[in-house]
Chain A
């Protein structure tokens, strides 16, 4: 893959194509690529999954450890989402301190999960006030062909849904050799999916390839889940320099529930 930055020509061409509702791979502007999910990326993780969305590949692992609770939530377990844009996934990723995208992605995943209350943190207390479980979610892109955020969110849901509680030995320490019996306590049927809209000119698109993503001028990520019959926006963050109009935001609000249903249906096949 080339490390060359996007040219004026390519950006103009992509803008022209989007204006005509066209994309290189034949998709419509709001069509997502097909994805596949595999499990057990690591048998040392409490849960792990790999997603392949087109050529974009992300792995997510869930680990748990006994910890002190935070002072303002003594009756709850902790959640920590981290990630690293390892240099293997793209010629653009360099070793060293994380760039903005690498900082933003885990935080977006974190807020979507917290907002939807997908993990029942109140069931993760080992000894009230003294010891609780911390759920670590670690996100690693393996190959970046665009839309890492949405890909990561699918793998995160899969990893969480497959996660098992580690066993504790008689001293209250984690015994990783013992077989786990209980699943990580998750709120029933809550799965916040992240959907990121990208904009170039007046066109709104979903699930860009890397080339398309580099041409785009604005993006906004929504975490959306469903409780009973109600759709809930759990998180939202706009990035990049261009603005979104009120009409565009209204359009997104219309598209989000449909997109949520479509992605949830596809995801169900793998859960």
Chain B
């Protein structure tokens, strides 16, 4: 589960690590000039206008060498192939399940994409309406999104609780190489699955440890800046 989370964070290209990495970041509004010069390359969220590289959305402008991009800090979930997400089953059809992944298009999990053989007659026992499932996005088309359960850690979530954070905050909840999420797992003894769509599942020995894990995740998600976040979280746990 963890390795896939990290891959997602890197692929999405929106890792929010501490700015001490030598990447400069500053708040930017749409249309604002980020840098001027022919050498720079506009990346995600930026565009070229003559000599200037200009922001194409609101967020944090980041100069990583020659590549200029704007990291989204606000806004809804944009699904990408290979994202691991948590969704809620809306319907059981004759050949699969309709899943709400908190996006504008509906998502479909074909019967064929379940990790083991599931009889048509036992489909709703395997995954019923209202159940939470961890799945991977297999394809994103304008008609809809296709999901698969073939992969480590995917499937129906049993027990524990799910809650939602802003999807842009997911990379920092995971942390560099999973450091943040592992810290929270250690301190609470909880299993945690993080969906790129902002839905998080935690399960612990008891309700109190689950509440603690959720509060810790929300603490990390609510902060705007990431400097010294690990220390803040460790302090927070020490106080509890």
> Which A positions have Cβ atoms within 8 angstroms of B?
1-11, 13, 16-17, 20, 22, 24, 211
Contacts and interface: CB of A to CB of B under 8 A. Distances in A.
Interface in B93-145: 100, 102, 128, 130-132
Contact of B207 (A8, A10, A22, A211): A22
Q: B interface, how many residues as a size bin?
A: 20 to 34
A237 to B, nearest CB: 28
Nearest to A17: B207
Contacts of A24: 211, 214
A9 B102 contact: no
Interface string B205-230: 00110110010000000000000000
Contacts of A16: 207
B35 interface: no
B88 A13 contact: no
A7 B164 CA distance: 12
* Chain A contact residues, majority secondary structure: loop
Nearest to A26: B211
Given A7-B130, A7-B131, A2 B207 contact: no
A11 to B, nearest CB: 8
B105 to A, nearest CB: 13
Given A9-B162, A10-B161, A13-B160, A4 B102 contact: yes
B164 A13 contact: no
B110 to A, nearest CB: 21
Most-contacted residue by chain A among B207, B208, B214 (CB, 10 A): B207
Given A4-B199, A10-B161, 13 more contacts: A2-B198, A4-B100, A5-B88, A7-B131, A7-B162, A8-B128, A8-B131, A9-B131, A9-B159, A9-B160, A13-B160, A20-B207, A22-B207
B199 A2 contact: yes
Nearest to A13: B161
23 contacts: A1-B164, A2-B164, A2-B198, A3-B102, A4-B88, A5-B88, A5-B130, A7-B131, A7-B162, A8-B130, A8-B132, A9-B132, A9-B160, A9-B162, A9-B201, A10-B161, A11-B130, A13-B161, A16-B207, A17-B207, A17-B211, A24-B211, A24-B214
A13 B207 CA distance: 8
Most-contacted residue by chain B among A10, A11, A16 (CB, 10 A): A10
B156 to A, nearest CB: 9
Q: Which 5 A-B pairs have the closest CB atoms?
A: A13-B161, A8-B130, A2-B164, A7-B132, A7-B88
B33 interface: no
A13 B128 CA distance: 17
B132 A2 contact: no
B157 interface: yes
Contacts of B128: 8
Nearest to A8: B130
Nearest to A23: B211
B209 to A, nearest CB: 12
Contacts of B159: 9
A97 B161 CA distance: 35
B100 A5 contact: yes
Nearest to A211: B163
Contacts of B163: 10, 211
Contacts of B87: 4
B102 A10 contact: no
Contacts of A20: 207
B41 to A, nearest CB: 35
A8 B199 CA distance: 15
A120 B159 CA distance: 55
B130 A13 contact: no
Nearest to B210: A13
Most-contacted residue by chain B among A1, A5, A11, A13 (CB, 10 A): A13
A123 to B, nearest CB: 50
A10 B161 CA distance: 5
A245 to B, nearest CB: 25
A233 to B, nearest CB: 35
Nearest to A9: B132
A200 to B, nearest CB: 14
Given A7-B132, A9-B131, A2 B102 contact: yes
